[in-house]
Structure 1
Amino acid sequence: MNMERKLIALDLDGTTLNAESQLNSATIQTMQRLQAAGHIVSIITGRSYQGSQAIYDQLHLKSPMINFNGSLGHLPHQTWSSEYQFTINKAIVLALVKYREQLGINEIIAENKTSTMTAGQDLIAGKFFPEIADSPRLTPNTLTRNPNSLVLLVQLDRRAAIIDWITERFGDQVDVGVWGGPNAILEITSKGVHKAKGVAYLAHHFQIPRRNVIAFGDEHNDLEMLAYAGLGVAMTNGTDKIKATADDITAYDNDQNGVARYLNDYFNIAE
């Protein structure tokens, strides 16, 4: 086993999780062994803390977790003096709430480490954000602090116009990301924040050089993280763009324990 300590950065959906968004037991076993060997195994996800805590617990991790694509870095179940967060000015959120219907935004989801608020409604929202069930309404009165993450479920034919509207007014403060796939979902983050920020923060915290960072991903929001890592590994089920940018590609997809099998090979762990 390569004994230099590694930071292993794991994207969840389409990468560490299978097609049912679950963990396979082989994946849990591999991560346990690597953690026991002294490596840092860390989840780096676009998901909220509520949406990823169960997976963190199933993997029995002890490491910090990065949520909302780099906007929040924290140590689950504990206070961590190095916790950080990037937020979006609530004035921007309230402007979107105000012009929501006019712009063609079906639903707005604003999230923090422990809270979720919504305005409007969209049929597919619950599929991606189970935590929005029974969430309080997002209004000027209820939004008392700046959120870490803002997700907009928009009408597809209005998507480009909505991006322009946000960029024109708030482009110096936020970035707008477009979700891949058939659903018209926009993700708004604090300017310049992406997963690589979170990974770099952890690498610095644990004094792990970039060459000892191994990152796995499958989608556009993993690009910066894979580029930052000494070894950026794209899933074979990943997008063409991510596969073109990565240092390596897994032989197996996320339904065949692609990440675990890659790491077992890399660290020479017998399966």
Structure 2
Amino acid sequence: MTRKLIALDLDGTTLNADSKLNQPTIQTMQRLQAAGHVVSIITGRSYQGSQAIYDGLQLTSPMINFNGSLGHLPHQEWASEYQFTLNKAIVLALVKYREQLGINEIIAENKNSTMTAGQDLIAGKFFPEIANSPRLTPETLTRNPNSLVLLVQLDKRSAIIDWINDRFGDLVDVGVWGGPNAILEITSKGVHKAKGVAYLADYFKISRENIIAFGDEHNDLEMLQYAGLGVAMHNGTTAIKAAADDVTPYDNDQNGVARYLNDYFEIAE
């Protein structure tokens, strides 16, 4: 069997409804990795927010964090590690006008650090790494972050996006989280999950037609379109399903990814 690159989104895809790994998922990924395929996590999450899942799957592959902004090999040095960053002047402008714009909390992250300005009641649910994180100020922000997340007031969301695009639109892209929570993700211009997947495919000398990618949300779009086989989750958004090559018969709570891969590779249960 030709070696495949299997690209896994985490939330709503590889993880169940409680954001945990189910045992069948762990077993399937370990089997595929043992068979010589490259199983790689491609997530919007930080390294801190995804390291336990990487370890739970017992992966040995590089991981892509912050929607393509960071590619690295967990727990060890990797000569091919890469990162894209945001100019800290952009971050400090948002910190300065945070309250005026209607931004409840700003979260700036790098591979091993998280800083926050302001606070939001739901932030800890999505970003457990912000607990006890240092404050984000002009004094403490000494380097350009990989990723910036804004928890904003819903009625101000469009105006905030316009404000960012008017000033920094040639430098950054603004992603909008689906669902009821008003969360914006800011990345370096043109950086998305497909960048990370393409980088890994090149590194492992795996052609595009041998990439299988799974996702459920808007930030998976470019990755699913880039992959030879882009698979949307049964529980994915309407737009993602429309753009995908296939849709899993089962959702993320029913081990949809594992079942799909077991069928694809004809792995006996």
Q: What TM-score results when the alignment is normalised by the length of structure 1?
A: 0.99
Aligned residues: CA RMSD: 0.3
Structure 2 unaligned regions, length at least 5 = none
**Structure 2 counterparts to residues 44-193 of structure 1, below 5 A:** 44-193=42-191
Give 1:25's match in structure 2, choosing from 20, 23, 26. 23
Read off the aligned partner of 2:231 and give its amino acid letter: V
Partner of 2:245: 247
Give 1:39's match in structure 2, choosing from 37, 40, 50. 37
Corresponding residue SS for 1:215: strand
Count of residue correspondences: 269
Deviations 1:68-105 (A, max 9, x none): 00000000000000000000000000000000000000
Read off the aligned partner of 1:141 and give its amino acid letter: E
Partner of 2:8: 10
Per the TM alignment, residue 187 of structure 1 is displaced from its structure 2 partner at its CA by 0.4
> Matches of 1:242 and 1:138 in 2, distance apart?
34
Per the TM alignment, residue 111 of structure 1 is displaced from its structure 2 partner at its CA by 0.2
Per the TM alignment, residue 227 of structure 1 is displaced from its structure 2 partner at its CA by 0.1
> Matches of 1:177 and 1:214 in 2, distance apart?
23
Per the TM alignment, residue 61 of structure 1 is displaced from its structure 2 partner at its CA by 0.1
> Matches of 1:209 and 1:119 in 2, distance apart?
42
Give 2:197's match in structure 1, choosing from 183, 188, 199. 199
Partner of 1:267: 265
Deviations 1:201-237 (A, max 9, x none): 0000000000000000000000000000000000000
Runs of 4+ displaced beyond 2 Å: none
> Matches of 1:109 and 1:60 in 2, distance apart?
29
> Matches of 1:236 and 1:118 in 2, distance apart?
35
Structure 1 unaligned regions, length at least 5 = none
Corresponding residue SS for 1:61: coil
Per the TM alignment, residue 59 of structure 1 is displaced from its structure 2 partner at its CA by 0.2
Per the TM alignment, residue 191 of structure 1 is displaced from its structure 2 partner at its CA by 0.1
